[in-house]
Amino acid sequence: MTAIITHPDTHQKLEILSSDAQYDLACACSTKDPAEHRKRSEDGRWIYPVTLPNGGSSVLFKTLVSNVCNNDCKYCPLREGQDTRRCSLSVKETVQVFLDYYRRKKVFGLFLSSGMCGGPDTTMERLIGIARQLRQKEQFRGYIHLKIIPGASDTAIEEAVRLSTAVSLNIETPGAKNLAKLSDRKNYIRDIIEPIKLISRLTGKGNRYSRVKQTTQFIVGAAGESDAEIVQYMGGLYDRLGLQRIYFSAYQHGLGTEDVPGEDTESQNPFDLLTREHRLYQVDFLLRRYGFKNSEMIFDSRGRLSLEIDPKEAWAWAHPERFPISVNTASRYDLLRVPGLGPVTVNRILQRRQINRLRRIEDVGRPGKLLQKAAGYLRF
């Protein structure tokens, strides 16, 4: 039987809803350590660290507007029929609480999501209503990230994009076959892929809303999908649709239900699944910052990334003919493919070799663990 709070005050609602918002990562969170994305403020709210364009950092106020949900996603603890405390925030409550945090300089922006309460557009109208009041009545010009509800109409999506700094719609799984293992109600193409494509068209370079960022999120492990399937979709999302970021959330066994069809049960070790999530973040970084293509990633016979070594080192081991490379003449592109070298270190190499020839690893920097690894792939 569902637990109902008959007359919760705003504080009680926020305690429930901001905690339930922890499962959605598709905002501009720092990925230095994915395990540290979610943390509580001193008063028990979930706030999310973000990296700002100037290199500094701040936090987002993040909450669900409602945890009432008509969807049946088997991985989700908030799906219909689950025994959980249900409540909703009004537009006025959400605006007032966020502005209180913002004016006290506790947060710099807002991330709003929601369970599907009623239909997709009914839910979107509440999210849009909050953003509209902040923009038009309160003249708030700061950061707003709105979650797009699967199945929302084109009109609702465009209005959300118009009012937002960033938007996201979770892709959830790679492909319709995998989503069918987790939901009987969602249509993968109609409710997820077509809306993601619409957002891409609205926010693409040269379009009216090109300032708006688009992100998405995969649920890792619930549908028994392979890493290779996820990485293939990542390539399409970045190369063809121009998304800014992709996030990953490791499925927590038994959180939504004890029996998820398709769930990978070969290993119930939660650390393995968290390592999978971490490896996918490393692949994401290689695609966005290192010039790698999704087709270059190395998988085992089951389509899995290695849990023992990172994806860049796996690529290097598979291409011994490429190494060692000359630290004094190699291009930035080739240096970025050396295990242990990141963009900061590569930039340092390019600067220092313009002044003097680099003759040993100590000329690059203090030889810690990463530089010691890199030394085996470099020729001085």
Angle between helices 91-103 and 120-132 (to 10 degrees): 40
DSSP code of residue 203: H
Instruction: Report the pLDDT value the prediction gives residue 20, as an integer from 0 to 100.
Output: 57
Residue where the block lists tokens 């979709």: 233
Angle between helices 270-289 and 227-239 (to 10 degrees): 30
Q: Which domains, and CATH codes, for the chain? A: 10-263 (3.20.20.70), 319-379 (1.10.150.320)
Considering Cα of 123, then 126, then 128, then 131, what sign does the dihedral take?
A: negative
Structure tokens at 195: 């809306």
62-102, pLDDT tens digit by residue?
888 888 788 888 887 777 777 777 778 899 999 998 999 89
Contacts of 144 (CB under 8 A, 6+ apart): 109, 110, 112, 131, 134, 135, 163, 164, 165, 166
Contacts of 258 (CB under 8 A, 6+ apart): none
Which element (helix H / strand E) includes 110?
Answer: strand 109-113
DSSP code of residue 380: -
d(CA 201, CA 60): 26
User: Is there a contact between 12 and 20 (Cβ–Cβ < 8 Å)?
Assistant: no
Q: What is the number of residues in the chain? A: 380
The HSE-up count of residue 294 (CA atoms within 13 Å, CB side) is 18
Instruction: Report the pLDDT value the prediction gives residue 106, as an integer from 0 to 100.
Output: 83
DSSP code of residue 74: T
Q: CA nearest 143: which of 59, 269, 82?
A: 59
324 preceded by a cis bond (ω within 30 of 0): yes
Instruction: Report the pLDDT value the prediction gives residue 256, as an integer from 0 to 100.
Output: 53
Instruction: Report the pLDDT value the prediction gives residue 2, as an integer from 0 to 100.
Output: 42
pTM of the model: 0.85
User: Is there a contact between 186 and 223 (Cβ–Cβ < 8 Å)?
Assistant: no
d(CA 334, CA 337): 5
Considering Cα of 246, then 251, then 256, then 259, what sign does the dihedral take?
A: positive
**With 0-12 CB in 10 A as exposed, 13-18 as middle and 19+ as buried, what is 235?**
middle
Instruction: Report the pLDDT value the prediction gives residue 300, as an integer from 0 to 100.
Output: 96
- What is the mean pLDDT, run by run of 10 residues, along the chain of 380 residues? 52 65 52 45 53 54 83 78 78 92 89 89 96 97 95 98 96 96 94 98 94 94 94 97 92 61 55 89 95 97 96 98 97 97 96 95 91 95
